[in-house]
Chains A and B, each alone.
Chain A
């Protein structure tokens, strides 16, 4: 008997995570493959920017707006820095900032949102009202005010880290901190609402009646069910962060120069768009391509997890 059981088990061995991932990849539609390739190239550029870039991020190498040449593939910018190098460094800074921001906002917003939805007590009420207040103030204007206040400086002082960070790093941390907090309100709402609609479903009620603990319900029933929309939102939020930074740069705040980020690069050369000059197009295209790529992957992921077997 026992040997038989073992045999059956060995036949039905579950595929490992890697095997599953590989199978999924092989069946991915071209759009998703395109998206993943683009993201991979971007990530590589971001990681190896200092090795690939022919010049430094802030290095002035020639005359302002020198046209493209063999040495400077994309030409030079307004004070004579190599645009190609800055686009590469921009990948690193832009994506790094966006990734950090979104990670913080999802940890904060996601955890609180699920907790609020499951407990549905006074905490839910309080958090929801606070989020309502935050969300009813326009993001850009709120960010403008908060940036001028530099909240991270206060955080720095609480932890006794004064003087640890250079001014440039501090502005970036301020930006990440503010955008993450503002963004987490959106994540909170999504997490709470999706978790809520799962929490009122029969199988969750059944689990509760069974006497399962809160932890079990959250981890086994709720999280798996709300993960797809949250991951989709992660992709969208990730690209929205660049756009917010770009808008902030347009309004005169944003990242500390000479740090290159794509949003500021578009904003710096905005007046050239009127004259059909290509300088602002390069960083704008970099943003657009990445956003499209991320969304392709997100779409595919949603499609796979939604369980919809489409007839087409």
Chain B
């Protein structure tokens, strides 16, 4: 068997094990957390009597191991069960299947991740190449400082500042700036279109409207991840510049640009791919804060919600999606790393 295929199969097997472990962790965490679904739903209105009735109707009065095994039995057959919300009710039509809840959210999350990747990855690689080309020059320094500053600010801060610009522009800055500032700032921002600060999309939202509504979140995320990818691109290319074959290319009389694009870049793909995979995973699993700020119905918010309300089937499904995304993207990055480093192909 080809070593790469063997590695892939091995990794997928391990991935399944990881998924299993994740589900155990999430389940036991939810069990260990104080309070249960009934208390979370009823809030202040929870009396011991109503909580008991709630738990009974959901089957939560049974031992945790039984419930976990039951859930697992369904999950391995692809049935993630029903959300606690609406389950145990009096009628079938109230039942909410986890797949129905997750589906649209999953789509939204991937939509935003893809949109961000489309913007961020080309920008990051281009900036990284230029920074490597003009390293230690003014371009390099400026780009470095700007990207570092965006990465160094809390995500929600970046997001709110963008919203300030978008909303403020619409209202002519009358509402949002201290007295006297509006006219001063206006000429610098008047070209910015009125982007919607509310990214609430739903199932029926047409494609382009979805893009339009997701633009501000996508820009925010771009600002957050570009620095990392750009710096890695720059660093990987510069670290190759000391190699003999680069010296050779230089001695041949190639221009710095040709050296970098033709000789350095092809060899730098592995670390760049790794960091891109890492950031794509982040775009799927790590954007809760941005979802909250823009009210974007993604899967992160769903998971936080369902953990908060101890809605185990939904929380489990979310966690498994996150884990699977992470595992798959890492697998891709690892394969690239293995293929480009023969030493790792044949470990002792």
Contact = CB atoms under 8 A, between A and B. Distances in A.
A194 to B, nearest CB: 12
Contact of B322 (A137, A145, A239, A310): A137
Interface string A1-40: 0000000000000000000000000000101000000000
Contacts of B156: 246-247, 250, 266-267, 270
B241 A310 contact: yes
B300 A138 contact: yes
Interface stretch (A84-92, A99-107, A164-172, A286-294): A286-294
Given A141-B303, A274-B164, 5 more contacts: A246-B154, A247-B289, A276-B177, A287-B152, A288-B153
Q: Name the interface size band of chain A.
A: 35 or more
Contacts of B173: 276
A273 B177 CA distance: 10
B238 interface: yes
A288 B286 CA distance: 20
Contacts of B144: 299
B160 A270 contact: yes
A237 B70 CA distance: 40
Interface stretch (B24-32, B57-65, B205-213): B24-32
B163 to A, nearest CB: 7
Interface stretch (B1-9, B13-21, B84-92, B120-128): B13-21
Contacts of A251: 288-289, 292, 304
B26 to A, nearest CB: 7
Contacts of B29: 145-146, 149
A233 to B, nearest CB: 12
B22 A133 contact: yes
B320 to A, nearest CB: 9
A135 interface: yes
Interface string B51-80: 000000000000000000000000000000
B18 A133 contact: yes
A40 B261 CA distance: 40
B297 interface: no
21 contacts: A120-B347, A132-B327, A133-B25, A136-B18, A137-B25, A145-B29, A148-B34, A200-B344, A247-B154, A247-B289, A250-B292, A273-B161, A275-B164, A276-B164, A276-B173, A276-B181, A277-B178, A287-B154, A292-B145, A308-B241, A310-B241
A307 interface: yes
Interface in A167-219: 196-197, 200
A288 B148 CA distance: 8
Interface string A111-129: 0000000001000000001
A152 to B, nearest CB: 14
Contacts of B289: 140, 247, 250-251
Given A137-B22, A148-B34, A284 B153 contact: yes
Given A250-B156, A266-B157, A274-B163, A144 B149 contact: no
A56 B160 CA distance: 30
Contacts of A309: 242
B138 to A, nearest CB: 12
B285 interface: yes
A136 B157 contact: no
B326 A136 contact: yes
B145 A306 contact: no
Interface in B21-48: 21-22, 25-26, 29-30, 32-34
Interface in B79-128: none
Contacts of B178: 276-277
B33 A273 contact: no
Contacts of A307: 242
Nearest to B325: A136
A312 B154 CA distance: 35
A136 B307 contact: no
B136 interface: yes
A138 B307 contact: no
Given A284-B153, A312-B136, A140 B14 contact: no
A31 B144 CA distance: 11
B29 to A, nearest CB: 5
B239 A141 contact: no
B167 A274 contact: yes
A140 B299 CA distance: 13
A109 interface: no
A169 to B, nearest CB: 21
A291 B157 contact: no
Interface string B133-159: 001110001001100110111111100
A135 B151 contact: no
Nearest to A247: B289
B326 A273 contact: no
A288 B149 contact: yes
